[in-house]
Structure 1
Amino acid sequence: MFAITAARTDKDDPLSGLEAGERPDPEARDGWTTVTVRAAALNHHDIWSLKGVGLPAERLPMVLGCDAAGIDEDGREVIVHSVIGDPDAGGGDETRDPRRSLLSEVHDGTFAEKVAVPRRNLVPKPAELSFEEAACLPTAWLTAYRMLFEKARLEPGSTVLVQGAGGGVNSALIRMASAAGHRVYATSRSEAKRERARALGAYAAVETGERLPEKADAVFDNVGAATWGHSVRSLRPGGRIITCGATSGDAPPAELTRVFFLQLQVIGSTMGTRDQLKRVAEYCARTGIRPEIDRVLPLANAKDGFAAMEQGDVFGKIVFTV
């Protein structure tokens, strides 16, 4: 089968380890099955893998990719949940299993004509969603869904800040939060991305680091060091920061004095469960809300998509079709 593989890792030149070519077809072990991939979505996780983060040299070569939608062995249209874990080990939540992994970390990923996954990791694809739209859900939209609806614990009409307007998680947060009735502020250095954020439903989009005209009930921050101080200062007393990443670094000043004096909450969130993936797919099908897709490329041109993501030239998701 044709696949996109991490053949080498290099933290300074990650794309140098990217290779396209033939790989053996996957074999499904006991309790697993194979999916014929129709569409797969690119994530920052794939760039980090090429840098060697979470992907040691002894596991190379590794087929990259976490997200996919396709056809299972019984001919059903399905979405692949990329968290490989045991719900029982995590108290009913596979993302809390200490041994969990994502596809492309221990097991070959989705940037291929076929992928092998545990049977329980498949959820039905609603007919209302295209394969390209469905492929955007398992990482970015699932992460945003859990942050917004489980972790933030907001009432409709709340004020929220999304740090960074362009990425897949953030564009999903803007769209879902505005649809849920929240007043959404978004930040970006780029006026073009601020305009796109407003088009997605943001009440206002401001320059990164700019003071908001009002305090937020919750801030969604996956940037980390570059935005942390602004996130803390943007919250009302008792507000919450929900974080799912730290793309600019994870060691900013914690501003603990402000955190305890204003009784702020810092809440971590990682991915979501299989059941939550099923719900986010149904949410999109019923509401008509769809993932923002930056571009669709054939899998053979995957390197172009990787280059665009590494350069930050993205708004929404990059999708590969097979």
Structure 2
Amino acid sequence: MFAVYAAEPNAQDPLAALRIGERPEPEVPDGWVRVAIRAASLNMHDLWTLRGVGIKPDRFPMILGCDGAGVLDDGTEVMLHSVISDPGWVGDETMDPKRTLLTEKHQGTFADHVVVPARNVLPKPAGLSFAEAACMGTAWLTAYRMLFVKSGLRPGQTMLVQGASGGVSTALIALGRAAGFRVWVTGRSERKRALAERLGAHAAFETGARLPERVDAVFETVGKATWSHSMKSLKPGGIIVVSGATSGGDADAELSRLFFLQMRVVGATMGTRDELADLLRFCELSGVRPVIGTELPLERAEEGFRAMLAGETAGKTVFTR
């Protein structure tokens, strides 16, 4: 079958490990299902896989892609939940120490077919296209968990999203606006700040700019480059919710500010199948939809990878079949 995959890990030049071509058709174990992929979205996690982060060397070659939407063998239209927990695990699957994401142990979605446990498929809502549904399983689910499960924000309060154009950031903007929060955003370029405002941000500021007032919560996916600004922008008693560190995690913790102003810092990783179902219902009720910045046939996947590596994305990148 046709696939986009990582041939081996390459920490220094991840795109040198990228391959586009034929891979074996997957076998379908008992309790698993086969999905014919119609659309799959690109995530930063795919670049980490090419670098060899979070995957054992003996797992290569590895078909890339955490997210996807498609059709079961019986014709049912479905979308995927990317977190695969241990069969015996009960409860929040993000807390399962044996959990994996697609592309860490099991082959991913950038292919004609993918196989996943039966519980990892959900019916695709009729109101979502395959491309839109393919955006939900990682970036949008992460944003939903950050905002509605971890932050404790109430409608009317002010949130700051660091970074204006990535998949999680654009999801936070859209979800936050729909939920009644005042949404502020930072962005490195005028183009990215304008995108954030088109998505619903009430105001967009240059990276590191002094804000008109301190905020109730900051949502961090950037890390080292924005951490000090996040700390300085937060109200006493406020919260920073962290789900990534694309610029590096080696930041000054500013512990004196943290304890003196009684701030809170919490982590968020992906989300549960139930939270994904809730996210889909929220989108159905609110009319919120993911912004797709680039849609490419899977054969042109390298273009999407190059744009992400260069930081030139504006919304989600989706590959279609």
TM-score class normalised by the smaller sequence: over 0.9
The answer to whether the Cα contact below 8 Å between 1:88 and 1:94 also exists between their aligned partners in 2 is: no
Q: Match of 2:98, SS?
A: coil
Q: Match of 1:132, SS?
A: helix
TM-aligned CA deviation for residue 276 of structure 1: 1.1
1:289 matched to 2:288: yes
Q: Match of 2:40, SS?
A: strand
Q: What amino acid does structure 2 have at the position aligned with 1:2?
A: F
- Structure 1 residues 6 and 97: alpha-carbon distance in aligned structure 2, compared to 1, 3 A threshold: same
CA distance in 2, matches of 1:279, 1:36: 24
Q: Which residue in the other structure is 2:21 paired with?
A: 21
- Structure 1 residues 264 and 185: alpha-carbon distance in aligned structure 2, compared to 1, 3 A threshold: same
Q: Which runs of 4+ in 1 moved over 4 A?
A: none
The answer to whether the Cα contact below 8 Å between 1:87 and 1:93 also exists between their aligned partners in 2 is: no
Q: Which residue in the other structure is 1:67 paired with?
A: 67
CA distance in 2, matches of 1:130, 1:194: 27
Q: Which residue in the other structure is 2:150 paired with?
A: 151
Q: Which residue in the other structure is 1:186 paired with?
A: 185
Unaligned runs of 5+ in 2: none
TM-aligned CA deviation for residue 302 of structure 1: 0.5
Q: What amino acid does structure 1 have at the position aligned with 2:284?
A: A
Q: Which residue in the other structure is 1:82 paired with?
A: 82
Alignment of 1:154-169 (within 5 A): 154-169=153-168
CA distance in 1, matches of 2:62, 2:177: 38
CA distance in 1, matches of 2:303, 2:231: 36
TM-aligned CA deviation for residue 203 of structure 1: 1.0
CA distance in 1, matches of 2:254, 2:87: 35
- Structure 1 residues 60 and 87: alpha-carbon distance in aligned structure 2, compared to 1, 3 A threshold: closer
Q: Match of 1:47, SS?
A: helix
The answer to whether the Cα contact below 8 Å between 1:124 and 1:278 also exists between their aligned partners in 2 is: no
Alignment of 1:307-322 (within 5 A): 307-322=306-321
Q: Which residue in the other structure is 2:45 paired with?
A: 45
Unaligned runs of 5+ in 1: none
CA distance in 1, matches of 2:88, 2:221: 28
Q: Structure 1, residues 72-130: CA drift from partner, whole Å, max 9, x if none?
A: 122111111011113863x5111110011100110100000000000000111100000
CA distance in 2, matches of 1:294, 1:32: 32
TM-aligned CA deviation for residue 251 of structure 1: 1.5
Bigger Cα displacement from structure 2, 97-106 vs 54-63: 54-63
TM-aligned CA deviation for residue 58 of structure 1: 1.2
Q: Which residue in the other structure is 1:263 paired with?
A: 262
The answer to whether the Cα contact below 8 Å between 1:224 and 1:245 also exists between their aligned partners in 2 is: yes
When the two structures are aligned, how many residues end up with a matched partner?
321
Q: Which residue in the other structure is 1:232 paired with?
A: 231
CA distance in 1, matches of 2:193, 2:86: 40
CA distance in 1, matches of 2:242, 2:26: 35
TM-aligned CA deviation for residue 285 of structure 1: 2.0
Q: Match of 1:272, SS?
A: coil
Q: Structure 1, residues 154-186: CA drift from partner, whole Å, max 9, x if none?
A: 110000100000100000001110111111110
The answer to whether the Cα contact below 8 Å between 1:171 and 1:200 also exists between their aligned partners in 2 is: yes
The answer to whether the Cα contact below 8 Å between 2:178 and 2:286 also exists between their aligned partners in 1 is: no
The answer to whether the Cα contact below 8 Å between 1:164 and 1:188 also exists between their aligned partners in 2 is: yes
The answer to whether the Cα contact below 8 Å between 1:162 and 1:174 also exists between their aligned partners in 2 is: yes
TM-score, length-scaled by structure 2: 0.98
Q: Structure 1, residues 127-166: CA drift from partner, whole Å, max 9, x if none?
A: 0000000000000000000100110111100001000001
Q: Match of 2:142, SS?
A: helix
* Percentage of identical aligned residues: 59
Q: Which residue in the other structure is 2:55 paired with?
A: 55
Q: What amino acid does structure 2 have at the position aligned with 1:45?
A: H
CA distance in 1, matches of 2:88, 2:218: 31
Q: Match of 1:279, SS?
A: helix
Q: What amino acid does structure 2 have at the position aligned with 1:36?
A: A
Q: Which residue in the other structure is 1:216 paired with?
A: 215
The answer to whether the Cα contact below 8 Å between 1:87 and 1:97 also exists between their aligned partners in 2 is: no
Q: Match of 2:37, SS?
A: strand
Bigger Cα displacement from structure 2, 3-12 vs 236-245: 3-12
Q: Match of 1:177, SS?
A: helix
Q: Structure 1, residues 20-78: CA drift from partner, whole Å, max 9, x if none?
A: 11111111112111101000000000001111111232111010100000011221111
